[in-house]
Amino acid sequence: LLDEESTLVVKSPNYPDEYLNSQSITWIIGSVSGTRLHLHFDGFDLERGYDFLYIGSGNSLSDESLLHTLTGPRIPDDITIDDNQTWLYFASDGSITKSGFQVQISVLSENASFVCDNGQVIPNSWVCDIIVDCPNTEDETLDCSPLKEGDWFLVSSPGYAFENYPDAFSRTYLYAAEYQLNVRVTFLAFDLEDGYDLLTVGYGSDPNDESTIGHVLTGSDLPEDIVSPLSSLWLMFSTDASVTKTGFLANVTITSKEREPCSEFLEVTTEVQTLERIQTTRGDDCGISLVSSDVRMKIRLVIDNAEIDCNT
């Protein structure tokens, strides 16, 4: 039996090398009473429609206890079994093999788990760990202390420096700092399948909002440093189902707010003059100086258009 401190790794034969044809393997895993089991896939690639991984509840294989039928190259979402027992059954046909799968099975107790807004259950140890596990990011934004100036992190694609990243993979990272701080990303290495495997960089704390996307990176050119104009930044790494590379390695640091000069000086004359638009970023304090060499002159300022964002 698994206890609350242990994790069991189950993988197809020869993983990450290809499994054999005509295989049939069953695993039955149990934990102490009153707990649930959580499955997290590190890799998954089966011949679509012919090789399968079946997952069910309890300790007896049957159609009634079957919960999930998995096939193809896409890494499945995390699975929570509302029981202290689960079974896995892997079956391959007589032709074409793939790299297979690897899944971590851990134990969830009532006081050691976090429930996402959509009902998904994750271990408490996954909360406030930079990696987004809940669809609405609440595991990284709800009751998480903001990052402070000087905090830094190394972030990389899975397996970096040891093996190529996996196919059909997706992971999102969220860095939320204290107000008036920056999040800076410095790339140390970068090699993705050009045009198909992407590292998307966005500003703010909502990766689901496409309007927050700042950069979409791909290929093998080392990107320049990226500094978020806001105090939060997210990274989303996604790969397609074929061709992998060595991946990326980056340093993420929390720094003081960096501001470009945000002021305007205009010497007033008797002619009508136009003040050029000042482009600001959130958190900037800007000033406009209107100066006349004639102290008797009155200055009249007409604002034709002003667009102000009152959100902080």
∠ CA 100-135-236, rounded to 5°: 70
pLDDT over 50 (residue 39) = yes
Give phi and psi for 140, each to the nearest 5.
-115, 0
Confidence of residue 4 (pLDDT cuts 50, 70, 90): confident
Burial of 59 (0-12, 13-18, 19+ CB in 10 A): middle
Which parts of 109-261 are beta strand (E)? 113-115, 121-123, 131-132, 152-156, 170-176, 181-191, 198-203, 213-217, 226-227, 232-238, 247-256
SS3 at position 141: helix
Name the band, by pLDDT with cuts 50, 70 and 90, for residue 308. low
The least confident of 6-20, 55-69, 234-248, 286-300 is 286-300
Instruction: Name the residue among 234, 196, 212, 240 with its Cα closest to residue 311.
Output: 212
Query: Of the given ranges (194-198, 201-205, 279-283), which has the lowest mean pLDDT?
Result: 279-283
46 pLDDT exceeds 80? yes
Output the pLDDT for position 277. 53
Which pLDDT value is given to residue 193? 97
Cα(9)–Cα(230) distance, rounded to whole angstroms?
39
Which one, of 174, 175, 178, 172, lies nearest residue 198 by Cα?
172
- With contact defined as beta carbons under 8 Å apart, do 166 and 244 qualify? yes
Q: Would you state the structure tokens that stand for residue 297, as one six-digit string? A: 């002159």
Reported as half-sphere exposure (CB side, CA atoms, 13 A), residue 249 has a value of: 8
Place of tokens 């998307």: 200
Residue 230, pLDDT above cutoff 70: yes
Domains and CATH numbers, the chain: 7-115 (2.60.120.290), 127-256 (2.60.120.290), 261-312 (no CATH)
Which amino acid, one-letter code, is at 60? S
Cα 139 from Cα 205, distance rounded (Å): 12
Looking at the chain, list the stretches that DSSP marks H as alpha helix, in order from N- to C-terminal side: 138-141
Range of weakest confidence among 1-15, 89-103, 128-142, 247-261: 247-261
